Amino acid sequence: TDKKRSTSDKGRERDGLFPVRRFRPSRAALLNGSGTRGGRGSISSSGSIDERSSDCLDLTAEGIAMEKMSRVTTALSSSALTGHTMHCHLDAPANAISVCRDAAQVVVAGRSIFKIYAIEEEQFVEKLNLRVGRKPSLNLSCADVVWHQMDENLLATAATNGVVVTWNLGRPSRNKQDQLFTEHKRTVNKVCFHPSEAHVLLSGSQDGFMKCFDLRRKDSVSTFSGEALGGGLGRWSSETPVHPMFCHPVLKLGHSFVQGLTSEKRIQGKARPRSLYQKPPDPVGICSEINGEMSPGQSESVRDVQFSIRDYFTFASTFENGNVQLWDIRRPDRCERMFTAHNGPVFCCDWHPEDRGWLATGGRDKMVKVWDMTTQRAKEVHCVQTIASVARVKWRPECRHHLATCSMMVDHNIYVWDVRRPFVPAAMFEEHRDVTTGIAWRHPHDPSFLLSGSKDSTLCQHLFRDASQPVERANPEGLCYGLFGDLAFAAKESLVAAESGRKPYAGDRRQPIFFKRKLDPAEPFAGLASSALSVFEMEPGSGSMSWFVDTAERYALAGRPLAELCDHNSKVARELGRNQVAQTWTMLRIIYCSPGLVPTTNLNHSVGKGSSCGLPLMNSFNLKDMAQGLGSETRLDRSKGDTRSDTVLLDSSATLITNEDNEETEGSDVPADYLLGDAEGEDDELYLLDPDHAHTEEPEYVLPQEAFPLRHEIVDTPPGPENLQDKADSPHVSGSEADVASLAPMDSSFSLVSVSHALYDSRLPPDFFSALVCDMLRFYAEQGDVQMAVSVLIVLGERVRKDIDEQTQEHWYASYIDLLQRFCLWNVSNQVVKLSTSRAISCLNQASTTLHVNCSHCKRPMSSRGWVCDRCHRCASMCAVCHHVVKGLFVWCQGCSHGGHLQHIMKWLEGSSHCPAGCGHLCEYS
Amino acid sequence: MRLATAANEAYTASLAVSELLGCKQCGGGRGQDEELGIRIPRPLGHGPSRFIPEKEILQVGSEDAQMHALFADSFAALGRLDNITLVMVFHPQYLESFLKTQHYLLQMDGPLPLHYRHYIGIMAAARHQCSYLVNLHVNDFLHVGGDSKWLNGLENAPQKLQNLGELNKLLAHRPWLITKEHIEQLLKAEEHSWSLAELVHAVVLLTHYHSLASFTFGCGISPEIHCDGGHTFRPPSVNNYCICDITNGNHSVEENQVNSAGNVSISDSFFEVEALMEKMRQLQECRDEEEASQEEMASRFEIEKRESMFVFSSDDDEVTPAREISRHFEDTSYGYKDFSRHGMHVPTFRVQDYCWEDHGYSLVNRLYPDVGQLIDEKFHIAYNLTYNTMAMHKDVDTSMLRRAIWNYIHCMFGIRYDDYDYGEINQLLDRSFKVYIKTIVCTPEKVTKRMYDSFWRQFKHSEKVHVNLLLIEARMQAELLYALRAITRYMT
């Protein structure tokens, strides 16, 4: 076992790599650390991502070096930007913002606003209102705005009525409107200037088309259809493959031409220089991802278009159906590649400013994904899960892995994520009171200023250093007890390092084991949050919890008179050598079961007094008498006293009743999806575990439990208290009982024994003791023996319940149930849930109650609806007597495998011993 | 006593039928049951729809595999194959999505208890006096353990549901009046308050049943045989005719009438289709040529909106709802008509600022997971459904026509698309069609067979059902948009 232990410890060490991720403030994460034995799921490792990202680094390092040289126009000027977090009120909600390349002006556009603001040291100053004219035209109702990154005078807007407008700030007149393109039929969602070309503008519209405009011409130069591949071929190929526009760079001989050519080379992987007039090679080879899912003729709305910053001819477009397409601007007939990026609309995309291959996309499915486009198939390298649909995404300048997002609905904050840490945002800006509609980094090389516009009619400048950092608030320490008293503890490395110098004090029996993670400089959060995990182990033997398991299994909690329960439990405790507990049970019996009071003992559990007294009380819950009392008329006669071991007969009474109405409910109720039992107030549904034969015989048949009335409503109560079990998990339980100090209160109660005997004659009511009993329960709970507390609580029922506040009870129940489940004592835990009177607890077994049914013929899972198998078109499990589907208890003969409704078979067997199916078999049911 | 005699009558009558005539069409199995003295109800009306001749509708048993699977699903989910399903199966693709959504809304995980769901369905259907849906859901409501006392009227239901009455009324007739105050009232009513998730569930249910009521009336769905008005115990044969003879006879007569009526105007209506197609072609071609000014566009919308209020059938007689139905809602007089008479102004709702795809979906899916997806799919299918046919023509791009219908309905609710030229509506939708649309969407209870017959006379029944699908989905989306916008405003 030692070896086994150490390997699992290594696993833990690994888990400790990313403490924040691991110790996200959820209970599940805490359980994971220790719950390996309980089978609570595993923790995913996260090493692979980093490997991948470093690969990318290698791939593109050369590229970056090259591009840096050409980055002349946009380099940060000598004076660094200054400013504060500030905001200004706009007159109307903004839809989009864009920054001038000098980083000193910002344009805000919306349905009824179109203004330019100067960003000054302390405030925004309105510089220009572009919304002029007496009658506001729909052309001014902007869905998007973009400022040319090379020409300070050039702006473009996308109007909601489908018009693309360009604005020239250099015009002398008040109206700066330059050109009007009315080619789109529907709202234009996005406009985008070519990053290095002065006259090229791209637009994407709701009508499913993207158009490329040359600003020196009156109409578009090419149109790209988002339709399925080939669908647009016939209609839109009228454009000449090489357009004059592309002669332009040649004439200008600007750096962009060179850049375009080199990028071309890189993509093709060929050194052969090619003329721009030449059509690019057919990209059939790359089109492996294109699938024919879309039916032709249904053009999907374009939500975003973005020119690649590095590849001269490439742009990406995103669609309402979740697709992303990559286009070569010279080839309007078909896209270079297409892949499905999101489930639902892809609202936005953004090329990484440095990495050629990286494209970030954000969608309605609340995800931000980062794609590596350099490979044959677009590869998802990172995925960030946000809490609301992602409306905009923008890479943060100079920070390779950072991007900013904002949402379209519900969530008003702006988040900056480190894509390698997808669960906690690196920074969060909470200034806006309504959804943020536009974000822009102020300068392409300054990572600290973010501008944003919002539906709440404000324009904000956020400073990165003023952002709130959720990571700071996250608790980087984690602590968890193992089942056998081991303790695991993870904390910031700096903290642990300081502590580790200290010597463990002499009295400590447990050995601390330290695991220290080796620091890897390539790790993304090396400096930020490295942590160490320490595990303290119990000495072998001292942590044995067998007493707990035994006690849990053998205690009787209900179904018999109180006196018997107490006696039984006392006996169990004594046999396990827990004399104090045994004594307590005896006292309880004396207090509550004096002869004169016996009749009242059955108040709580109104149980038929069966013959249970004669049964040996050794094994598990003996609840048989009661079930018999309820169901004896209806149960198969032969079943009496026969084997039922391991057969959990849930709802024995309820089932029989439903069987009778089975015919009425068939067909109209909800099949295959119902609850197992109604937990509330049904103390009389029991597990039937027959002690006589529990381990002597194999079960002869198993009755599947099904058939409950129509599913009832899941009580809409919040889940039980979450982090309460810690206290109860204390491993000290066994040892502490020997403590002298802790026995002090018990001493006094010992004396009570004699006292109470005397008092009984004078008929002292049990209420007299209730305060003491409650103290006793609390004592046990605090000692860590929550088992005792809960058991007594259940056994005494109403007698003490009212004296202990609901919260405490819930806490105890939750702790005990948690412990039971960790020891895999599912039956006991479910019984405790059932017997509990607390609402929060009893709703526990109303959760995840779906039952999956397989077809009895072909073994395939049945569809969610109906009882007819999709595959073999037969009804599953027919009753041999009535030929209806059996939705309840199905009983069958193991000889001929015919069977049916329990009741029908019972009836049938009264009259005949042959199989009702007519197979001639002499059926035997027991 | 009366029952007994009725039973006897039925008994003797059926004896007469089976013995004297020995009709083969009826099948032999019936005799046995009747000998037991059981009263056999007989369906009134012929087929699932009063508007569509039975033989036009797909016969159960002749469906293809896909339809069969749909029927099986529907039967498994509802325990019946209702007339709505039988009519909708004209468009199996839509039906599948519809059934999936309805099943999820009524029976799968959701914040509202089952009987609440059916009761809300009853409330919504009752707003339009749709006895068909009310009856169906009264049965379901009782079946899932609802308290029959509630059925005596909304005032007998819990306060929580009573509070929903106002929202129901507004949603059904004037959704643009819903404000965040209404939402607040529902959410902050102390012990009767709704949670956001419950409210979204309720809103989805209400809008679903408002529009389903539109469909029921729009397609003239016949009552189910087990519901009131769906059957009779009267002996089928007064003149010693077999039941099937009578129905067959009636059928042929009816069809003859239809045909003869059709013959009169056949050239007329043929011309209609041609004209419509011609207009579509023109619009397609000259779209770019004449560019209307912005003011012109804006005023076109206003004109269309205003006109839509006055489009009403001439027979304006008050239909007083049957007592049976009206008890489920208060304020029976409150309807769409009131405001149109008084010429109240409908504020303009700009879809570019709050649309289903971007905003509504996210909100619904957040508060009532998966339903946003289901409804989104349903909208998508309804909006994009096309067989590229128009009456007798094939390979027609109908997207323009479908968009005109969709936008016309949204226009009636004051929802404006910036990028749409509302002049197109006038070109494409003629008056009788507008009357039909308007009636179905606003006062479905007033739809008559005449209205159904008088629009698009040359078109197939399946196409008319298709139109109905567009209508109900557009209506549902319009109502949802207003309700969800109010909820969003409440939340921010």
Q: Which chain A positions have a beta carbon within 8 Å of B145's beta carbon?
A: 710
Taking a contact as any Cβ pair under 8 Å apart, which residues of chain B between 205 and 264 contact chain A? none
CA A873/CA A852 separation, integer angstroms: 18
- Amino acid B326 reads S
Distance (Å) from the C-alpha of residue B406 to the closest C-alpha of chain A?
15
Distance (Å) from the C-alpha of residue A188 to the closest C-alpha of chain B?
9
CA A193/CA B323 separation, integer angstroms: 66
Handedness of CA B477, B483, B487, B488 (dihedral sign): positive
What tens digit of pLDDT does each residue of A445-455 get? 888 899 999 98
With CA atoms as reference, the chain A residue closest to B380 would be A321
This model of the complex carries an ipTM of: 0.74
What tens digit of pLDDT does each residue of A879-894 get? 888 888 777 777 878 7
What tens digit of pLDDT does each residue of A818-829 get? 888 888 888 888
Instruction: Give residue limits of the domains in chain A.
Output: 86-227+308-469, 475-502+529-542, 546-592+766-846, 856-925
Assess contact for A352 and A249: CB atoms under 8 A: no
**B451 or A748, higher pLDDT:** B451
Pairing status of strand A890-892 against strand B42-43: unpaired
With CA atoms as reference, the chain B residue closest to A673 would be B108
Q: Cβ contacts of residue A134 below 8 Å, gap of 6+?
A: none
CA A387/CA A736 separation, integer angstroms: 47
* Active-site entry in B26, B130, B219, B411: B130
DSSP letter at A468 equals B
| Residues forming beta bridges with residue A372, ordered by sequence position | A358, A379
Which of A160-169, A368-377, A481-490, A559-568 is predicted least confidently?
A481-490
DSSP letter at A603 equals T
Dihedral over alpha carbons A71, A72, A78, A83 (to 10 degrees): -60
- Across chain A, mean pLDDT equals 67
**A434 or A48, higher pLDDT:** A434
Distance (Å) from the C-alpha of residue A370 to the closest C-alpha of chain B?
22
pLDDT at A237: 32
Which of A370-384, A589-603, A631-645, B369-383 is predicted least confidently?
A631-645
pLDDT digits (tens), chain B, 492 positions: 344 444 444 443 333 333 333 344 444 444 444 455 666 666 656 667 777 777 777 666 666 777 788 788 777 777 777 888 888 888 888 998 999 899 889 888 788 888 899 999 988 988 888 888 888 888 888 888 888 888 888 888 888 888 888 899 888 888 888 888 999 988 887 778 888 888 999 999 999 999 999 999 888 888 776 665 555 555 444 443 333 333 333 333 333 343 444 444 455 556 777 777 788 777 777 654 455 566 676 677 777 776 666 555 444 444 444 445 555 555 554 554 444 444 556 778 888 888 898 889 989 988 888 899 999 999 999 998 888 888 778 888 888 889 999 999 998 888 888 888 888 888 888 888 888 888 888 888 888 888 888 888 888 888 888 999 999 999 999 999 999 999 998 887
Chain B contact for A182, CB < 8 A? yes
Indicate which of B362, B373, B424 best probes the interface with A, i.e. most A CBs within 10 Å of its own CB.
Answer: B362
Tokens of A823: 């020891």
Chain A contact for B143, CB < 8 A? yes
Q: What is the mean pLDDT of residues A202-211?
A: 90
Angle of the B180-187 helix axis to the B461-491 helix axis, nearest 10 = 70
DSSP letter at A195 equals S
Instruction: Give A910-921 as a 3 state SS string.
Output: HHCCECCCCCCC
Chain B contact for A64, CB < 8 A? no
- B23 a catalytic residue: no
* The residue to which tokens 């169906």 are assigned: B136
CB contact under 8 A, A866 and B75: yes
pLDDT at A467: 87
CB contact under 8 A, A433 and B492: yes
Region label for A230, one of left (φ > 0), alpha (ψ between -120 and 50) or beta (otherwise): left
What tens digit of pLDDT does each residue of A208-240 get? 899 999 888 888 888 888 765 433 333 333 333
Helix runs in A332-469, H state only: none
Q: What is the mean pLDDT of residues A713-730?
A: 40
Tokens of A641: 């006293």
pLDDT at A698: 42
CA A302/CA A157 separation, integer angstroms: 16
Taking a contact as any Cβ pair under 8 Å apart, which residues of chain B between 301 and 360 contact chain A? 350, 352-353, 357-359
With CA atoms as reference, the chain A residue closest to B294 would be A137
CB contact under 8 A, B353 and A409: no
CA A592/CA A767 separation, integer angstroms: 9
Residue A81 CA: distances (Å) to CA of A441, A492, B225: 12, 35, 78
Instruction: Give A734-748 as a 3 state SS string.
Output: HHHCCCHHHHHHHHH
Q: What is the mean pLDDT of residues A365-380?
A: 88
Dihedral over alpha carbons A562, A567, A568, A574 (to 10 degrees): 150
H or E stretch at A628? helix A624-631
pLDDT at B273: 75
CB contact under 8 A, B352 and A111: yes
| Residues forming beta bridges with residue A166, ordered by sequence position | A156, A179
**Domain A86-227+308-469 grouped into CATH 2.130.10.10:** yes
CB contact under 8 A, B143 and A135: no
pLDDT at B231: 56
Indicate which of B358, B373, B489 best probes the interface with A, i.e. most A CBs within 10 Å of its own CB.
Answer: B358
pLDDT at A97: 92
Region label for A707, one of left (φ > 0), alpha (ψ between -120 and 50) or beta (otherwise): left
pLDDT over threshold 60, residue A577: yes
Chain A contact for B296, CB < 8 A? no
DSSP B205-265: HHHHHHHHHHHHHHTTBPPPTTSTTSEE-S-S-SSS--HHHHHHHHHHHHHHHHHHHHHHT
- Please name each of the domains of chain B with its CATH number: 51-222 (1.20.1290.10), 273-315+339-491 (no CATH)
Chain B contact for A460, CB < 8 A? no
Q: Cβ contacts of residue A918 below 8 Å, gap of 6+?
A: none
Chain A contact for B271, CB < 8 A? no
Chain B contact for A161, CB < 8 A? yes
CB pairs under 8 A between A and B: 106
- Amino acid A868 reads V
pLDDT over threshold 60, residue A558: yes
Taking a contact as any Cβ pair under 8 Å apart, which residues of chain A between 358 and 397 contact chain B? 364, 388-389, 391
Tokens of A890: 């199905």
Pairing status of strand B231-232 against strand B42-43: antiparallel
